Structure 1
Amino acid sequence: MSHRLFPSSALVLLLALAVAGTVAAQSSSPPRSDDDMQKLTQESSNPVGSLWMITNQFNLNLLQSPKGGAFKQAKSQFNYNFQPVLTFDLPADLRLITRPLIPVYNTPYAAGLHKTDERFGLGDAEFMAMVAPASSSSGLLFGLGPTAVFPTATDKHLGNGKWQLGGAAALVYMDATWVAGIFPQQWWSVGGDPDRKEVSLTKAQYFLWYSPAKTWQVGMSPNILIDWTQKKAENALTLPVGLGVAKLVTLGELPVKLSAEADYSVVRPRHTGTEWTFKFTLTPILPKLF
C-alpha cells in the first residue's frame, strides 16, 4: 500500500516549488511589455512550450446515461487537477517537458438500479515527459515521449487500480494570434489489481485558440477519450466540442492565466458518460529556477 503515499508527498514537494517560484517572480523588477505578455499568452497554450507553470483546473462534469438507470438524470462530478509543467533545456536545441498530474475527485457512482452514492478522494496520478525541438522557423512544433499512470486512487470508484504505461505526442502550430494542435496520450495496463479490468485508453486533447486582442484568447481545448476495451463501439468514444475564453493578468508581478470553458460531448458512451464539462483554470506562470 506504500504507493498510496505518492500523491501527498508529491503534492507537498510541488506546492513548495510553486511557492518558491512565486516568491522569485514577485521579487523580479522589470515590468513586462504588452508584447511580452502576448508572447506569454500564446506560449502558455503550447504543450511543448518553454514555460514553467502550475496549472490548477477545476472541472464540473455532468454525467448522464442515455439508457437511463441510476444516471437517467444528470449527476454532478467535481474534479480538481493539480498539474505543474516544468521544462528543461537539453543539448542539440532540444527541450524536455515534464507534466505530473494529481487529480482529486468527488464522484457519483451507481449503488443500485436507480440509486447513486458518492466518493471523495485522490484519483490515479499521471506523469508525462516529452522531448521537443526548442525552436521552429515554420511555426510547427512537435514532441514525443513516455507517459504513465499510477494506481494512487483512494477508492476503487476514483481510479482503475492499474499501473499503466504508454506514449505521448504533440503536434502544434503557433503564431502571434493562433495556437492549434493535438496532444494525444495512450495508456496500457501493465500490472496492478488482478481483479480490476485491463486498461487501453486514449486521451487526446485537441485545441484551437485565437487571440483577438493582446492577452486575450477565444477557443477550446476538449479531451477526446477512446476506451479500446469496450466490446460495443457505442460505449467507447467521448467526443466533446466547446467554447472558452482566456485572459492573462498579473498579480503583483506574477503572470497568471485565467480561463473558463464549457464542453459538450456530441458523442458519449451509451452506458454512462460525460454530457457537459464546465472548467475554470488558474495558471501562475513561474520563472525557471534552474
Structure 2
Amino acid sequence: MKVFSNNTKRLLFAVCFVLSFQSYGQEEKPGASAQELADKLANPVASLISVPLQNNFNYGIGPYNGVKYTVNIQPVIPFKLSDNLNLITRYILPVVDQRNITGLNTHEFGLSDATVTAFFAPKSKKIIYGIGPAFLVPTATEKFLGTEKFGLGPSLLVMHQGKGLSVGFIANQIWSVAGADDRADFNSFYTQIFLSHSYKSGANWGVNAEITQNWEGNTTLISLNPMMGGITKFGDQVVQFSVQPLIPIVGHQSIKPDWGLRAVVAFVFPGS
C-alpha cells in the first residue's frame, strides 16, 4: 500500500499545482488573446498544435479495490490541405500503472494501446464539424494492458462555438480487423459530450460526460466530469492547466471506479 500512498501524494500535488497556476493565469492576464486561445483549445479540430499530458487517477476499481494511474500523451497536429479544409490528427498514447486490477496483489506497468484519429475539418463559422478514420494500434507492452488487436472505424465531431462558449460532442466506433487469434475481438464505441465557458483572462470552466460502450463484453461506463482551468506562460511557452473530478455514474463493478481525478497540462504552440 505504500505505492498507493505515493500515488495519492502525486494526485494532491497535481491538484495544488493546477489550481495555483489557474489562479496565476487569472491574476496575470496573459494577454488579450488568452480567451481566443482557450476557445481554440476547447475545439478538438482547431488548427493549433498542442501536446496535452492527461493524468488520470482512478481508485476502487473491481472486486479488489484496484488503483489505476494513466498518463495519456495526446499530441494534436493539424495539416492545411486547402484554404477551406484542414486535416487534424490526434494521437493518444497511454502509459499505465495499475495494481489489484487483474487480481489481488497484481501489478502491471507499461504502454497501453494507442488511438490515432484523423479529422477532415472544413472551415466553418457556425457549426464546426470533422469526420475521418480512427485507428487502434496495438502498442501495449503488457498482455493485460492491451488488446493485441489492430482496429479501425469512423470518428465524428460536431460542435457550436461562440466567443467564450463551446458545446458539442466527439465520438468514434472502432472494430478490430486483425491481430492475435487467441484474444477477444475489439468492438467499442466512445463519445464525449462537452460544454465549456472561457474568460478574457484565459480561465475556463465546463463539464463533460464520457460514455464508453464495449459491445463485445456488453459493458457500459459513464462518467460526469466537471472542469476548471486556466492559461499561463513559462517564459515564452504557453501552457494550459485544468483539473477535473471524475464522477462515475454507470458501470459494471469490474470496471467502474469508486472515484477519480484528472489533471491536464497542455503545452500550446499558438504561432504554429
Percent of aligned pairs with the same amino acid: 27
Alignment RMSD (CA, Å): 1.9
TM-score under structure 2 normalisation?
A: 0.84
Give 1:275 shift. Answer: 3.4
Aligned pair 1:35/2:18, yes or no? Answer: no
Report the counterpart of residue 139 of structure 2 in structure 1. Answer: 152
Q: Is the 8 A contact 1:107 1:158 kept in 2?
A: no
Give 1:214 shift. Answer: 2.9
Q: Is the 8 A contact 2:30 2:232 kept in 1?
A: no
Give 1:142 shift. Answer: 0.5
Structure 1: which 5+ runs fail to align?
1-31
Amino acid at match of 2:95: V
Q: Residues 151 and 63 of structure 1: is their aligned pair in 2 closer, same or farther, counting only changes over 3 Å?
A: farther
Deviation track 1:120-179 (CA, whole Å, cap 9, x = no partner) reads: 00111111101111232x2x2010000101111011111111111111110111111211
The equivalent position to 1:286 in structure 2, one of 254, 263, 269, is 269
**In 1, Cα distance between equivalents of 2:261 and 2:45:** 25
Q: Is the 8 A contact 2:34 2:200 kept in 1?
A: no
**In 1, Cα distance between equivalents of 2:200 and 2:46:** 21
What stretches of structure 1 move > 6 A for 4+ residues in a row? none
Report the counterpart of residue 129 of structure 2 in structure 1. Answer: 142
Give 1:272 shift. Answer: 3.0
Give 1:207 shift. Answer: 1.4
Aligned pair 1:54/2:55, yes or no? Answer: no
**1:212-251 matches, cutoff 5 A:** 212=199, 214-231=201-218, 236-251=219-234
Report the counterpart of residue 69 of structure 2 in structure 1. Answer: 78
**In 2, Cα distance between equivalents of 1:241 and 1:181:** 15
The equivalent position to 1:103 in structure 2, one of 87, 94, 98, is 94
**In 2, Cα distance between equivalents of 1:265 and 1:212:** 28
**In 1, Cα distance between equivalents of 2:78 and 2:101:** 41
Structure 2: which 5+ runs fail to align?
1-28
TM-score under structure 1 normalisation?
A: 0.79
Aligned pair 1:132/2:132, yes or no? Answer: no
Q: Is the 8 A contact 1:246 1:259 kept in 2?
A: yes
Give 1:45 shift. Answer: 1.1
**In 2, Cα distance between equivalents of 1:109 and 1:127:** 29
Report the 3-state secondary structure (helix = DSSP H, G, I; strand = E; otherwise coil) of the residue aligned with 1:43: helix
